[in-house]
Structure 1
Amino acid sequence: MLSLATVRQRWVSFVGTFVTLALGVALIASTLLVHLSAKPTIPERFAGTPVYVRSTGTPWSPDTVRALSDRIGAVPGVTAVVAERAFYAQLLIDGRPFGRPDARDPQGHAWSVAGLAPYPVRDGRAPTAPGEVVVGRSAGLAPGARVTVLTATGPAPYTVTGTVDGPGLYVADDVAAGLSGGTRLLGVRGTGGVAAITAAVGGAGTVLSGDGRSALEEHSVSGTREIGSQVLTGMVGLAAFCTVFVVASTFAFAANQRRREFGLLRAIGATPRQIRRTVYGEALGIGALAGAVGAALGALVAPALGGVLVEVGFEPPGFVTRTPLWPVAAAYCAGLLVAVLGSGSASRRAGAVGPVEALREAAVDTRPMTRARWICGGLCAAVGIVFALATPAAGDTDMMVLSMLAAMALMVSMTLLAPVVIPPVVRLVTWPLGRLAGATGILARESSLTAVRRTASIAAPVIVTVGFAALILGQVATVSAAYRSRGTTAVEHQAVVRPDGTPGLSDAVLAALPAGRTVAYTATDLYVGGRTRLAGGVDPAAVRAVVRAGSLADLGADDTVVVAAEPATDGRPAAVGDLMPVTFADGRTATLRVVAVIDPLAEVELLLPRSTVRAHDPAALTELAYVDGVGLADLRAAVSGLGATAVAGKDYESDSSARDDVLVRIFVLTLIGLSVGYTGIAIANTLVMATAGRRRDFAVLRLSGGTAGQVLRVVAAESLMVVGIGAALGLGVSVAALIGVRSGISQALKAPVDLLIPWDQVGGVIGACVLLGLAASVLPARWALRQRAVGVRE
């Protein structure tokens, strides 16, 4: 009862905690619901077939496909075994490529694959001869239409013989066999038993059935879902930290303000245990109500959050948010747990208050640093330093996570040690004010030094707000600039021919470029010693590389290879004359002879004659072509209508980089909005609590002759000073974490990297903190000054 009465009486002090906890529970509930809904799904074009067999290592060779199909086809109940042959194909409509370009999810298929969905012909008939194609109805073409189809070899005329409801282009099976590379998937139609099919397959592949078919989800969809998962994880992690931080700081500050109240309770017989139970009761009361509100709000906004993630590209199209009950209940329990954990230190501090505190009139902090605060602050500082030192040695993803953990630990340490750190900073900042006329600066300084815990509590959320903003913005700016610089260095040519609405360049584009002035790598996968190696098909005469051994002139025969990344063979670096057993993209194996060893290239690890690549991978595309000595206008004219364009080398930026930049900006804005929103609530709440509790101080100033304007200027000066100190400490924390990121990127790129912090954006966050701090302190002070100077009671 006492706990509930206290909450009712001091509701202003707990408004910020209630709002933050409710929002935290809502975010946890909504993100949990979205995350649990974001499961792999069975692709529509595979949904109509009950069983699939997928290769577990290298692609199957044609002989292996025939043997497997015969064994599986002999299983009772199996009516057909369909080899999934896919290749790059794209319609050219009105001179522009139609549809979404994605090299990982080719849209060209053999007609027999349409039966796996199934996609029956709606209008017209199936393709039976070369030059015939069935298209999706979304293309808006009717049977008999003449179209141009882009493939890896270039544009070719086709006749539409029919349409289907699904996406993609479908050609006769024998035509698809000549356009596709290796086979990795077999669809098994009929009623054959899974156990019998598994026995027939043996160790040649993995059998997928039922929900296991979701493993066939398109790469583009799974990639989008992975990005969404990272976004949701970042949101939950940041929200959880900020929520615990705000709740803990609010309860701690409230407990410090209520020392006389707790002392009075002790004086009338309350035990420390009863005081602790009172604080815990307050936390549970707020947590129960805020958790219920937040859980309901989270369930309501989860579908909208899922829709927003789809809209910005963090979830695939067609994503639907499901709303089971248990994630909402889990979020509610998490809210209660956060409330209890956040009030833990406050309850211990409240229980330690002695009866003599009831007699104190001054708000002087006699012991701002306890032993527990020293120990915890030191441990957090040590953890933060360890994480910061470990950051450079981590991988790209782990590097960002470690830097974030380092910043979090250092922020907590700075908050705990603030009563020690802030007073010297306050004296240093306000030293010039002592030499100036007027008492405003002196009063602001002395007030901050006298109530050092209040000053530390106000500075703490500013440290987190500015620290997170500078850290996230600095991470993105530093990493983006470093990799953009690497890409610019790699493009040392006058012009770059790049795809324009297509996933890559065809042979027709390369044939249109000037011989001897073009460097291009037609990418394919080679499987060497159980590892996948990226190989590039090249024109041997156009290769530009530093030769360490051998001669590039010897590259030309089908069995030759140039090593560009020094892969090991038989436990030692490759050397000229070595024999390298490989498996090509079509599943066929061969032994290649190393004819040269060159310095590593950024694009590929192995070089092959382009004719070799094309013989084993008809669907292979070329990512870029570098050209010198030809004007951009001439290059654009040469590749017009082929799904390509030309840009200056210094201006080149890939489509994927541009899309990634957009997604990163959205991600950054989301995280910064979360951190600033949460900690902004803490800033406002702490300042309102602090100002509301200083009515007696304001009364003393008024009785001493100060005007209302002078009192408000003192309050404003103190707020500006504390917010500025918190911002400086937050910047120091973020820079310490960012140094590790810069060092790690520099080691990865083997080149110096500049530490970049977008000061204009960080300055905007600091400005928002200043405005919020002034509003949350001056407005309550103005309200408090309306009270009579005589007779004010605490």
Structure 2
Amino acid sequence: MLRLSVGALRDRWQLFAGAVVAVALGVGLVQSGLQVMAAADRVVLPAGLSGIERARIREGYAGAATLLGMTVMLAVFLTVFIVSTTFGFTVVQRRRELALLRLVGAQRGSLRVMLLGEALLLGVLGTAVGVPVGVLGTYAQSKLLVSLDLLPPWFHAPWDPGALYAAAIVGVSTALTGVLAAAWRASRITALEALSDLPGNQPVMTGWRWFWGLSAAAFTALLVIAAQAAGDLVAGLMIALLVMVTGSVALSQLSPIAVPWAGRLPALVLRGNLVADLARANVLHAVRRSAATAAPLIVLVGLLVGLWGTFGTLAKAVGEEQRQLVTADLVADGLVTPAADLAVVSPQAAVPFTVRRKGRTVYAEAIGIDPKAWQQTHKLRPRKGSLDQLTGATIAVGPGMSAEGYKLGSVLSATIDKRPVKLKVVAILPETLDVGDNFFVPRALTPSGRTETLVKVADGVDPAMVAQRLGDAQPIADWAEDRGKAQQRGNTGIFAVLMGLAGVYAAVAVVNAIVMASADRRREFALARMAGLTRAQVIAVALIESLTVVLIGVLLGCVVAAAALAGVATGTANTYGVVVLAIPWRLLALILGGSLVVVGSTAAATAWAATRPRPITLLGGRE
């Protein structure tokens, strides 16, 4: 059986090329990710850094480790997905070959061993290709994380043989894991069933596919209903993350049904032209091929658009929350002198702050405020204690630290701008989405801090005129929006990495499906040309068909993302009284445009290659 496995890989290399690329990428990403994570775990900081600089660098290392962990898990998941899709497709295309083996005496277990042998060889080959990819990936990931300010410029990831061994194990094990379902299906093939060539004997929707698809769809529906019923922003965010996963799984498993159904929607546009009608018919009737192309796009759009929209909405909600909590009219840099046209002037100065607590040092910022003026420009009030007592050697725990277990009345050993002080906790504010404000202290303790002033203008005074007089004052709505954008910028780099990774894997999966399908369509193309179509028309049919499937896949992925964002929109409406929703139109346009280019060019190229031989040479005998 090992000889048969080697022969299958040699003779049908075009069917396995995508899986080899996926395994190589997975091995390279796992190897480079583990190598960088191992180096990040051994933090070596140069001398001369301040405490807050050390804390920020360590926080960046932790963020880099989290991102790399997500990358490794995503790489393993997508590798298994592509390998399983590849072998599932090859089993369908090789039914006659597998049936002949059964006819000459091969047992079911032998077929399983043969396919597992192919997967083993594929895993070894992918690992061999992936090791040098991992070496380059280590350098690239290190530079990327440095550019995202997660790692310091001096970071270096030395060679770690343990990462290589782990990546090799992952490469082989993912290949074997991905082929298990296909091997079981192949062992169920009988000679007469496959040789009969009846469509009914080759069902696209297997029992397990029905089970997983319907189960995921039902669970997704329950989650969407729960998100609407909860009406809470935090609950909506958590449920949205689950809906993206379960919804993507549901539609990808049910894609043989969903894609033809959605394929009827463009009928009004495609109807009336011979080439367009043939392409539309292929989408509706070549269910397996259409589903294999659309499934990766459904997962890609559902996850990326849903994630970006969810966290973009969270960042936008930060701005809306601040707009509603802050009652000032303007925010000015520096100190503003009280004047007749100003009702309230509330300066606040931020300085480095260190507190020693429970055996560890917390590095943060303390904001020096005038409690009376601050309460006149903010709606937020303490959940424990009172800001009226914030005088002398006292401190109020801000929203960014209110969940850390600080107790009212306790005394903290702290350092403000390199000056050691003892501060009594007199107030603890509630949590907010914006966790930038950590501690508040009397402004007398922060004389040299970075200052900005919140200004409430007097009754009857135009805020625009005051802003013009102050010179650099900003309306509170713009200031609040900038706070939300600042949080979004922190997420952009992380999502750019994950988006690039998922996009590469989706491209590999889609191109792999098209190349595999084209290998089985040469006879179909020859029949079309013998029926009177020109070579250009056949290529146009394949191109329009593929582009239609792209549109359907993106449309179904948007359905998943919309289901996830529906609960988030309801949560913001109930929390703030207005719907706050960030729809990533640019990302969606980028995915759609990139998918059309990649899939269209691949479909045209493979159809051109498949139509190079003369039709009569392909119809003379069965392949």
Q: State if a TM-score over 0.5 links the two structures.
A: yes
Q: Aligned pair 1:714/2:549, yes or no?
A: no
Provide Cα deviations, 1:214-250, integer angstroms capped at 9, x if missing partner: xxx8221122222222322232232222222111111
The whole-number CA distance in structure 2 between the counterparts of 1:283 and 1:556 is 68
**Residue type of the alignment partner of 1:782:** W
Partner residue in 1 for 2:251: 414
Partner residue in 1 for 2:159: 323
Structure number with the higher strand fraction is: 1
Provide Cα deviations, 1:715-738, integer angstroms capped at 9, x if missing partner: 223222222221111111122223
Q: Which 10-residue stretch deviates more, 38-47 or 419-428?
A: 38-47
Q: Cα distance 1:634–1:721, how it changes in 2: closer, same or farther (>3 A)? A: closer
Q: Cα distance 1:666–1:560, how it changes in 2: closer, same or farther (>3 A)? A: closer
Provide Cα deviations, 1:597-629, integer angstroms capped at 9, x if missing partner: 99x999979987544xx2xxx678466321355
The whole-number CA distance in structure 1 between the counterparts of 2:11 and 2:433 is 70
Following superposition, the deviation at residue 375 of structure 1 comes to: 1.6
Partner residue in 1 for 2:177: 341
Partner residue in 2 for 1:626: 454
Q: Cα distance 1:609–1:762, how it changes in 2: closer, same or farther (>3 A)? A: closer
Provide Cα deviations, 1:388-420, integer angstroms capped at 9, x if missing partner: 677798999998676445423322222222223
Report the secondary structure of 1:313's partner residue. coil
Aligned to 1:17, which of 19, 25, 34?
19
Partner residue in 2 for 1:426: 263
Q: Is the 8 Å Cα contact of residues 329 and 456 (structure 2) preserved in structure 1? A: yes
The whole-number CA distance in structure 2 between the counterparts of 1:278 and 1:261 is 12
Matches within 5 A, 1:539-618: 540=372, 543-544=375-376, 582-583=411-412, 585=414, 588=422, 610-611=443-444, 614=445
Report the secondary structure of 1:323's partner residue. coil
**Residue type of the alignment partner of 2:581:** L
Provide Cα deviations, 1:132-156, integer angstroms capped at 9, x if missing partner: xxxxxxxxxxxxxxxxxxxxxxxxx
**Residue type of the alignment partner of 2:330:** A
Report the secondary structure of 2:453's partner residue. strand
Q: Aligned pair 1:773/2:609, yes or no?
A: no
Q: Cα distance 1:700–1:673, how it changes in 2: closer, same or farther (>3 A)? A: same
Following superposition, the deviation at residue 543 of structure 1 comes to: 4.5
The whole-number CA distance in structure 2 between the counterparts of 1:235 and 1:226 is 14
Q: Percent identity?
A: 30
Q: Cα distance 1:755–1:628, how it changes in 2: closer, same or farther (>3 A)? A: closer
The whole-number CA distance in structure 2 between the counterparts of 1:520 and 1:389 is 46
Q: Is the 8 Å Cα contact of residues 468 and 675 (structure 1) preserved in structure 2? A: no
Q: Is the 8 Å Cα contact of residues 727 and 766 (structure 1) preserved in structure 2? A: yes
Q: Is the 8 Å Cα contact of residues 213 and 250 (structure 2) preserved in structure 1? A: yes
Following superposition, the deviation at residue 683 of structure 1 comes to: 0.8
Count of matched residue positions in the alignment of Structure 1 and Structure 2 = 589
Provide Cα deviations, 1:689-718, integer angstroms capped at 9, x if missing partner: 112211111122222222223322322232
Partner residue in 1 for 2:97: 261
Following superposition, the deviation at residue 283 of structure 1 comes to: 0.9
Q: Aligned pair 1:698/2:525, yes or no?
A: yes
Matches within 5 A, 1:73-92: none
Report the secondary structure of 1:372's partner residue. helix
Q: Is the 8 Å Cα contact of residues 345 and 456 (structure 2) preserved in structure 1? A: yes
Report the secondary structure of 1:369's partner residue. coil
Partner residue in 1 for 2:550: 723
Q: Is the 8 Å Cα contact of residues 564 and 601 (structure 1) preserved in structure 2? A: no
Q: Aligned pair 1:538/2:367, yes or no?
A: no
Matches within 5 A, 1:453-472: 453-472=288-307
**Residue type of the alignment partner of 1:709:** A
**Residue type of the alignment partner of 2:312:** A
Q: Aligned pair 1:677/2:497, yes or no?
A: no
Partner residue in 2 for 1:502: none
Matches within 5 A, 1:356-367: 356-361=192-197, 366-367=202-203
Report the secondary structure of 1:218's partner residue. helix
Q: Cα distance 1:708–1:734, how it changes in 2: closer, same or farther (>3 A)? A: same
Q: Aligned pair 1:280/2:112, yes or no?
A: no
The whole-number CA distance in structure 2 between the counterparts of 1:554 and 1:664 is 37
**Residue type of the alignment partner of 2:317:** A
**Residue type of the alignment partner of 2:84:** A
Q: Is the 8 Å Cα contact of residues 23 and 79 (structure 2) preserved in structure 1? A: yes
The whole-number CA distance in structure 2 between the counterparts of 1:415 and 1:383 is 15
The whole-number CA distance in structure 1 between the counterparts of 2:29 and 2:396 is 54
Matches within 5 A, 1:383-398: 384=220
Partner residue in 2 for 1:7: 9
**Residue type of the alignment partner of 1:425:** A
Following superposition, the deviation at residue 28 of structure 1 comes to: 0.9
The whole-number CA distance in structure 1 between the counterparts of 2:109 and 2:544 is 40
**Residue type of the alignment partner of 1:544:** Q
**Residue type of the alignment partner of 2:210:** W
Provide Cα deviations, 1:291-317, integer angstroms capped at 9, x if missing partner: 122123213431342133113312123
The whole-number CA distance in structure 2 between the counterparts of 1:357 and 1:46 is 76
Partner residue in 1 for 2:562: 735
Partner residue in 1 for 2:495: 668
The whole-number CA distance in structure 2 between the counterparts of 1:591 and 1:685 is 62
Provide Cα deviations, 1:544-568, integer angstroms capped at 9, x if missing partner: 167999xx99879759999999x99
Q: Cα distance 1:513–1:360, how it changes in 2: closer, same or farther (>3 A)? A: farther
Partner residue in 1 for 2:209: 373
Q: Cα distance 1:365–1:421, how it changes in 2: closer, same or farther (>3 A)? A: farther
Partner residue in 1 for 2:581: 755
The whole-number CA distance in structure 2 between the counterparts of 1:418 and 1:31 is 33
The whole-number CA distance in structure 2 between the counterparts of 1:329 and 1:751 is 54
Provide Cα deviations, 1:15-73, integer angstroms capped at 9, x if missing partner: 111111101110111011111111263544489xxxxxxxxxxxxxxxxxxxxxxxxxx
Aligned to 1:225, which of 33, 58, 61?
61
**Residue type of the alignment partner of 2:248:** M
Q: Is the 8 Å Cα contact of residues 395 and 425 (structure 2) preserved in structure 1? A: no
Q: Cα distance 1:456–1:4, how it changes in 2: closer, same or farther (>3 A)? A: same
**TM-score with structure 1 setting the length:** 0.65
The whole-number CA distance in structure 1 between the counterparts of 2:305 and 2:433 is 35
Partner residue in 2 for 1:144: none
The whole-number CA distance in structure 1 between the counterparts of 2:608 and 2:90 is 21
Q: Is the 8 Å Cα contact of residues 465 and 680 (structure 1) preserved in structure 2? A: no
The whole-number CA distance in structure 2 between the counterparts of 1:776 and 1:362 is 30
Q: Is the 8 Å Cα contact of residues 259 and 357 (structure 1) preserved in structure 2? A: no
Q: Which 10-residue stretch deviates more, 581-590 or 353-362?
A: 581-590
The whole-number CA distance in structure 2 between the counterparts of 1:293 and 1:41 is 31
Aligned to 2:317, which of 457, 482, 505?
482
The whole-number CA distance in structure 2 between the counterparts of 1:757 and 1:513 is 42
Report the secondary structure of 1:348's partner residue. helix
**Residue type of the alignment partner of 1:728:** L
Q: Mark the runs of 5 or more structure 1 residues left unpaired by the alignment.
A: 48-85, 87-103, 106-216, 499-508, 569-573, 637-644
Report the secondary structure of 2:156's partner residue. coil
Q: Is the 8 Å Cα contact of residues 19 and 82 (structure 2) preserved in structure 1? A: yes
Q: Is the 8 Å Cα contact of residues 244 and 560 (structure 2) preserved in structure 1? A: yes
Partner residue in 2 for 1:495: 330
The whole-number CA distance in structure 2 between the counterparts of 1:755 and 1:633 is 32
The whole-number CA distance in structure 2 between the counterparts of 1:479 and 1:454 is 38
Q: Cα distance 1:308–1:17, how it changes in 2: closer, same or farther (>3 A)? A: same
Structure number with the higher helix fraction is: 2
The whole-number CA distance in structure 2 between the counterparts of 1:252 and 1:305 is 33
Q: Aligned pair 1:37/2:5, yes or no?
A: no
Q: Mark the runs of 5 or more structure 2 residues left unpaired by the alignment.
A: 415-419, 458-464
The whole-number CA distance in structure 2 between the counterparts of 1:762 and 1:288 is 36
Q: Is the 8 Å Cα contact of residues 583 and 589 (structure 1) preserved in structure 2? A: yes
The whole-number CA distance in structure 1 between the counterparts of 2:304 and 2:380 is 47
Kindly name which structure, 1 or 2, has the bigger radius of gyration based on alpha carbons. 1
Following superposition, the deviation at residue 5 of structure 1 comes to: 0.5
**Residue type of the alignment partner of 2:259:** I
Q: Aligned pair 1:249/2:85, yes or no?
A: yes
Partner residue in 2 for 1:443: 278
Matches within 5 A, 1:151-166: none
Following superposition, the deviation at residue 763 of structure 1 comes to: 1.9
